[in-house]
Structure formats: structure tokens, C-alpha cells
Amino acid sequence: MFSESAIAGRKVLVTGGASGIGLACVRLLAAKGARVAINHLPNDSQAEMTVTRLADTGADVFSCPADVGDVAVEAAVTDAIDRLDGLDWLINNAGVGLVREPIPFADLDALSEEFWGTILSVNLLGAFRCARAAAPALREAGGAIVNVSSASAEGKRGTSIPYSVSKGGLVTLTRSLAKALAPQVRVNAVAPGFIETPMTEQRDAQYRDSVAQDCLLKRVGTANEVAETIVFLCSAGGFMTGEVITIDGGRSF
Ligand code: NAD
């Protein structure tokens, strides 16, 4: 599916890259010879161990610790770009749901200002901060950004209203950045449905089965399946920008 030559030697930053969909992107890119800066939360020892293990297997990766929910992430992005000596692709993947069980949409009183603030700052502003810091290098490289939105962006379902709104905002941000950074930089998004990752592992088997039954493909998705589409949007799809690809097994069909 991917041409080795389109990926080898590319300089990439993946936010939230030490687990789930982000880690699947890192593995796929590193296996094809890309050089990858892996962003993760500061003091996340498990993430640091993951980066060390990858580097020990010969992957050309290094750690870029920073909280995308804080404006200080922009300095960390600049540092990563200096270390990479440029940037071809930015994958804005870091995101949080903040809840183990969904907050029913009707329960408006459960949604505190603090909850709204954290979700929007990490899931939406975080992507903007990284894009702003990376824009000069991406323009110079003729690069690409892929934002990880969600099928919940449609507002019909999701773990909470703020989560869905943050992912809907990310779709709008994708289109706005596609316009802002054209013609040098392509900006696209993926909108995954239910994907097996640490984010969804708390959901019980019954719920997972009911989601699978809702999907035309009668199963939930894997992190690798999302990563393949993200890497496609970076390394191919050269005439695509401002687009969102839904990856949900036909659940929203
Ligand atoms: P995950 O929890 O494994 O990955 C999220 C990563 O982001 C984690 O490594 C986490 O430590 C990191 N992160 C969280 N807050 C951060 C911050 N402030 N700064 C830097 N890193 C931070 O879960 P995942 O499912 O792989 O999620 C990846 C992306 O996919 C998220 O944006 C999520 O909203 C989105 N998504 C997931 C699903 C799903 O079903 N798993 C569906 C749709 C969209």
C-alpha cells in the first residue's frame, strides 16, 4: 500500500504517539524508514519506556515530552523540528475523553466548566498549537498535517458532548488550516469510529459487541487500520486537502 521511498527519510512528529493509534502510526512510519519525534505527556514513564524500546529495536525515534493542552507545547514542537532538522508531516493525534463511562448527552449538569476547558484545550487547541508551531517548517517542506478527529464529531453520539464538540471543531480546524496553509501544506483528518485502544479498553464486552453489530462490517476497528489511513494521507493523496475520511466499519452509513 505504501511506497517505501515516499516514507523513508521523512521527518514526522506524532502527538500522543506512545500508545494506541499514535503508536501504530509511529511503528508503521519507523518501519518504512521515517524519523519520528514522539510526543507524549511529560513524566509519563510508560511512554518513555515505549520510546526507549522502539529505539532499541533500531527505530529512528526520539521523545518529545509536552502537554498539548498547554501553550508550552509550541516550544517543544520547535525543539523537535530543530532536532529533526525540518518537518514533513505532523500527526495531531493526542486526545482525551476524560471519562471511563460516557456522560449521557441529556445530563447537561454533569458538564463542568473545567471539563469543557480541558477537553477543548487538549483535543482542539492542542492541534492548533502544534500546527502553528510547525507551520513554517511544513511550508518549507511542502508537508502535510493529519488531524485525528472522530465519528462522534457528527454530534449524534460520543462519550460526552464536549468530546464530540472538540472533534467537530477539529473538522472545522482541518478545513480552515487547509485554506490557511495552501498551497504548500495539505491538511486532512480521519474520523475513526470505535477502535480497540487503551482509550476504549474500559468499555465492557457487551457494549463493544453492540457497537460491532451496528457496523456493516460487524466488528470494531484496530489502531493499525486507522494508522494506515493516516500514513496514506501523509505520503500519498497528493491532490487531497481539507478532507475527512471516516473509518468506522460502516457504523454511520
Ligand atoms: P490512547 O489513549 O491510547 O491515545 C491517546 C494518547 O494521547 C495517549 O498516549 C495519551 O497519553 C496522549 N495524551 C493525552 N493527553 C495528552 C496531552 N495533553 N498532551 C500530550 N499527549 C496526550 O487512545 P487512542 O484511541 O489511540 O486515541 C488517539 C486519538 O484517537 C485521540 O485523539 C482520540 O480522541 C481519537 N479517537 C479514538 C477512537 C477510539 O475508539 N479509540 C475513536 C475516535 C477517535
Q: How much is the average pLDDT of 64-91? A: 98
H or E stretch at 146: strand 144-148
The string of pLDDT tens digits covering residues 95-121 is 999 998 999 999 999 999 999 999 999
Domain ranges of the chain: 4-247
Which of 14, 15, 19 gets mutated to test ligand 1 (max ligand atoms within 8 A of its CB)?
19
Q: Is 158 in the pocket of ligand 1 (CB under 6 A)?
A: no
The string of pLDDT tens digits covering residues 10-43 is 999 999 999 999 999 999 999 999 999 999 999 9
Distance (angstroms) between ligand 1 centre and the Cα of 200 equals 10
Atom number, ligand 1, closest to the C-alpha of residue 223: 26
Distance (angstroms) between ligand 1 centre and the Cα of 72 equals 19
Residue 78 has pLDDT above 90, yes or no: yes
Q: Is 41 in the pocket of ligand 1 (CB under 6 A)?
A: yes
Residue 1 has pLDDT above 80, yes or no: no
**Rounded Cα–Cα distance for residues 182 and 179 (Å):** 5
Contact yes or no for 204/216 (Cβ under 8 A): no
Q: Is 122 in the pocket of ligand 1 (CB under 6 A)?
A: yes
150: Cβ contacts below 8 Å, ≥ 6 apart: 95, 158, 163, 164, 167, 191, 192
Annotation marks residue 207 as catalytic: no
Distances, alpha carbon 75 to alpha carbons 48, 99, 209, in Å: 19, 29, 43
Residue 251 has pLDDT above 70, yes or no: yes
pTM (2 d.p.): 0.98
The string of pLDDT tens digits covering residues 172-185 is 999 999 999 999 99
Q: Which amino acid is located at 58 in the chain?
A: G
| CATH code of the domain made up of 4-247 | 3.40.50.720
Phi and psi angles of residue 196, each rounded to the nearest 5 degrees, phi first: -75, 105
Written as nine digits, the cell of 236 is: 500519498
Res. 253 pLDDT band, cuts 50 70 90: confident
Q: Is 147 in the pocket of ligand 1 (CB under 6 A)?
A: no
State how far Cα 48 lies from the chain centre: 19
Written as nine digits, the cell of 12 is: 514526522
Average pLDDT score over the chain: 97
177 burial class (0-12, 13-18, 19+ CB within 10 angstroms)?
buried
Distance (angstroms) between ligand 1 centre and the Cα of 93 equals 6
The string of pLDDT tens digits covering residues 34-67 is 999 999 999 999 999 999 999 999 999 999 999 9
* Predicted local confidence at residue 223, as pLDDT: 98
Longest CA–CA span in the chain (Å) reads 53
Q: Which amino acid is located at 247 in the chain?
A: I
The string of pLDDT tens digits covering residues 168-216 is 999 999 999 999 999 999 999 999 999 999 999 999 999 999 999 999 9
* SS3 state of residue 193: coil
Written as nine digits, the cell of 21 is: 493509534
Res. 3 pLDDT band, cuts 50 70 90: confident
Whole-number CA gyration radius for the chain: 17
